[in-house]
C-alpha cells in the first residue's frame, strides 16, 4: 500500500466563512469545531484533536485511508495540484525543527500558516460559485432551487482569536468572499503590521476594487503576494465573474503603481473559459504589473461548470493545444463525470448577465447547440 503523508496538520489551520475550523481548504468537514466553541486558536492547534490528525496524516502517512484526505491522495496520484503539493512546493518553515522539539517536550507551538475567510461578503458573482462563498449568489441560488447560504461572517470575538495567533505566523492567507470587500480584514492586517510584519501575506482577491485605506495598509508589508482571480478577458471575464474587466485591470495597475508589487494571475478553468485560456495569457503576458499567470485551478464540480462536460474528444484536443501553448499550465486528466445537466444554471446566468456568453465563444455555441438545443 502506498503511504503518503502531508505536513499540513503540523503547521496549518484553515477557517471557513461559516466559522468552522478546517484542516485545510480541501478538508472542510473533518474537524466539526466552530471558532466560537473554542477559547483560543493556538490551544486548539496544540490539542489532542490536532495531535490525532498529525499522527494519522503526517506521521503514519495514512491519507489514502482517511475519508477526509482520500480525494487529495487520488488527485496527487494523478499528478494534480493539491493544497498538499502546494505546501511542499512553495513554503518553507524556518522553525520546523524547533517546533518538532517543542512538541516532543509537550510545549505548545504557534500556528505557522493560517488561512482564513472572514465572510462570504463579495462584490462579484462568479459562474462557478454559490452563496456559500458569495452573498451575491443568494437570489440566483434561490431561483435555481439550490441551498441558499445566509450572509455569514465571523464575529468580533473570532477576529480577536485570529489576532492572538498572528505573532507566530510565517504565512497568512486571506480569502473570501472578497477580502477587500470586508473591511474587517484591515483590522487584522493593521495588527499584523504591528506584531509580525515579516510574515508573508497572500491575498486571493478579484481585484475589482481596493480602497485608498486598504492600499495604505498593503504598503506596510515587505512580503506580500496578491493573487488576482481572472477567468477571462473582456466580455468573457464580465460574464464569468459578474464583474467588469476594465475596472479589474485598472485596479491591478493602480496597485502596482502605488506599492511596486506585481500581481499573480490565477485562473479557474471551467466550461465557460475552456476555449479561451490563451486570450488571458496573450492579454497579460507583457504587462508590467503582472509577474505570472498560472492555469492550475480546475472547476471540479459537476454542478457548477466542470469543463469535462464537453466530452473526451473535445477535452483532449483542447488540452493538447494548451500543453503546447500555455506557459504555466497544470493539466487535468479527463473525468467521465458528465452526469449533471447544468443547462438551467447556464441559461439563468445568461439572463443574469444580460447577454449570452456563447455569442462571444463560437466553440461554446457550437457545443451548446449540439448538446442542449432541442
Ligand atoms: S492530505 Fe490533503 S486534504 Fe488532507 S490535510 Fe493534507 S492537504 Fe488537506
Calculate mean pLDDT across residues 281-289.
98
Q: Which residue has cell 456563447?
A: 358
Q: Which residue has cell 455569514?
A: 152
Going by C-alpha positions, the residue among 277, 265, 272 that lies closest to residue 323 is: 277
Cell numbers found for residue 86: 502546494
Angle between helices 234-241 and 245-259 (to 10 degrees): 100
Probe residue for ligand 1, chosen from 69, 74, 87 as the CB with the greatest number of ligand atoms within 8 Å:
69
In angstroms, what is the span from residue 6 Cα to ligand 1's centroid?
A: 6
pLDDT digits (tens, 9 = 90+) for 129-138: 999 899 999 9
In angstroms, what is the span from residue 365 Cα to ligand 1's centroid?
A: 38
- Name which residue sits closest to atom 7 of ligand 1, judged by CA: 84
Global pTM value: 0.89
Residue 72 alpha carbon, nearest atom of ligand 1:
2
Calculate mean pLDDT across residues 293-320.
92
pLDDT digits (tens, 9 = 90+) for 66-81: 888 888 898 888 888 8
In angstroms, what is the span from residue 81 Cα to ligand 1's centroid?
A: 12
- Name which residue sits closest to atom 8 of ligand 1, judged by CA: 24
> For residue 3, what pLDDT is reported?
81
Rounded mean pLDDT of the chain? 93
Residue 297 sits at the vertex; the CA angle it makes with 142 and 9, to the nearest 5 degrees, is 95
In angstroms, what is the span from residue 346 Cα to ligand 1's centroid?
A: 32
From residue 263, alpha-carbon distances to 94, 138, 181 in Å are 25, 30, 18
In angstroms, what is the span from residue 73 Cα to ligand 1's centroid?
A: 8
Residues 6+ apart with CB under 8 A from 327: 281, 285, 293
Burial class (CB in 10 A: 0-12, 13-18, 19+), 218: buried
Residue 66 alpha carbon, nearest atom of ligand 1:
4
Using the predicted structure, report yes or no on whether residue 318 has a pLDDT greater than 60. Answer: yes
pLDDT band, very low/low/confident/very high, at 30 (cuts 50, 70, 90): confident
In angstroms, what is the span from residue 90 Cα to ligand 1's centroid?
A: 15
Neighbour order of strands in the sheet with 171-175: 33-34, 20-22, 12-15, 113-117, 171-175, 200-205, 224-229, 263-269, 290-298
3-state helix, strand, coil in the chain (%, to 5): 45, 15, 40
DSSP 3-state of 97: helix
Residue 76 alpha carbon, nearest atom of ligand 1:
2
Percent of the chain's residues with pLDDT above 90: 80
Using the predicted structure, report yes or no on whether residue 31 has a pLDDT greater than 80. Answer: no
pLDDT digits (tens, 9 = 90+) for 328-356: 999 988 988 765 678 888 999 999 999 99
**Ligand 1 pocket check for 135: Cβ under 6 Å:** no
**Ligand 1 pocket check for 57: Cβ under 6 Å:** yes
Residue 296 φ then ψ, to 5°:
-135, -10
Calculate mean pLDDT across residues 84-103.
94
> For residue 58, what pLDDT is reported?
95
Q: Which residue has cell 463560437?
A: 362
More confident residue, 373 or 232: 232
pLDDT digits (tens, 9 = 90+) for 242-255: 999 999 999 999 99
- Name which residue sits closest to atom 4 of ligand 1, judged by CA: 69
**Ligand 1 pocket check for 50: Cβ under 6 Å:** no
In angstroms, what is the span from residue 69 Cα to ligand 1's centroid?
A: 5
Residue 84 alpha carbon, nearest atom of ligand 1:
7
What whole-number distance in Å separates Cα of residue 265 and Cα of residue 326?
13
Calculate mean pLDDT across residues 34-57.
95
Amino acid at each position: 500500500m502506498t503511504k503518503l503523508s502531508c505536513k499540513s496538520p503540523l503547521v496549518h489551520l484553515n477557517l471557513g466563512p461559516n466559522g468552522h475550523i478546517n484542516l485545510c481548504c480541501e478538508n472542510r468537514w473533518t474537524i466539526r469545531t466552530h471558532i466560537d466553541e473554542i477559547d483560543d486558536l493556538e490551544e486548539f492547534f496544540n490539542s489532542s484533536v490536532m495531535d490525532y490528525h498529525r499522527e494519522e496524516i503526517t506521521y503514519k502517512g495514512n491519507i489514502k485511508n482517511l475519508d477526509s484526505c482520500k480525494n487529495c491522495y487520488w488527485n496527487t496520484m494523478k499528478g494534480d495540484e493539491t493544497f498538499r503539493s502546494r505546501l511542499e512546493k512553495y513554503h518553507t518553515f524556518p522553525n520546523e525543527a524547533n517546533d518538532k522539539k517543542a512538541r516532543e517536550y509537550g510545549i505548545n507551538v504557534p500556528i505557522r500558516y493560517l488561512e482564513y475567510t472572514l465572510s462570504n461578503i463579495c462584490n462579484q458573482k462568479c459562474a462557478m460559485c454559490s452563496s456559500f462563498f458569495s452573498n451575491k449568489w443568494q437570489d440566483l441560488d434561490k431561483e435555481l432551487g439550490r441551498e441558499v447560504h445566509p450572509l455569514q461572517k465571523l464575529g468580533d470575538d473570532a477576529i480577536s482569536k485570529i489576532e492572538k495567533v498572528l505573532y507566530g505566523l510565517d504565512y497568512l492567507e486571506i480569502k473570501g468572499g472578497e477580502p477587500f470587500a470586508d473591511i474587517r480584514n484591515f483590522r487584522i492586517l493593521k495588527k499584523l503590521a504591528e506584531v509580525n510584519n515579516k510574515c508573508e501575506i497572500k491575498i486571493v482577491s478579484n481585484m475589482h476594487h481596493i480602497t485608498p485605506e486598504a492600499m495604505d495598509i498593503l504598503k506596510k508589508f515587505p512580503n506580500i503576494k496578491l493573487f488576482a482571480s481572472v477567468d477571462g478577458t473582456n466580455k468573457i471575464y464580465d460574464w464569468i465573474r459578474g464583474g467588469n474587466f476594465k475596472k479589474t485591470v485598472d485596479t491591478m495597475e493602480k496597485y502596482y503603481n502605488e506599492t511596486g508589487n506585481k500581481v499573480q494571475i490565477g485562473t479557474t478553468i471551467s466550461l465557460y473559459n475552456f476555449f479561451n485560456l490563451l486570450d488571458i495569457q496573450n492579454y497579460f503576458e507583457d504587462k508590467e504589473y503582472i509577474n505570472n499567470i498560472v492555469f492550475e485551478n480546475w472547476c471540479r464540480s459537476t454542478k457548477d461548470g466542470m469543463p469535462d462536460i464537453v466530452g473526451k474528444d473535445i477535452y483532449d484536443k483542447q488540452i493538447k493545444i494548451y500543453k503546447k501553448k500555455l506557459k504555466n499550465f497544470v493539466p487535468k486528466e479527463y473525468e467521465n463525470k458528465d452526469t449533471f445537466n447544468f443547462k438551467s444554471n447556464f441559461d439563468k446566468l445568461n439572463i443574469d448577465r444580460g447577454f449570452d456568453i456563447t455569442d462571444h465563444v463560437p466553440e461554446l455555441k457550437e457545443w451548446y447547440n449540439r448538446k442542449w438545443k432541442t
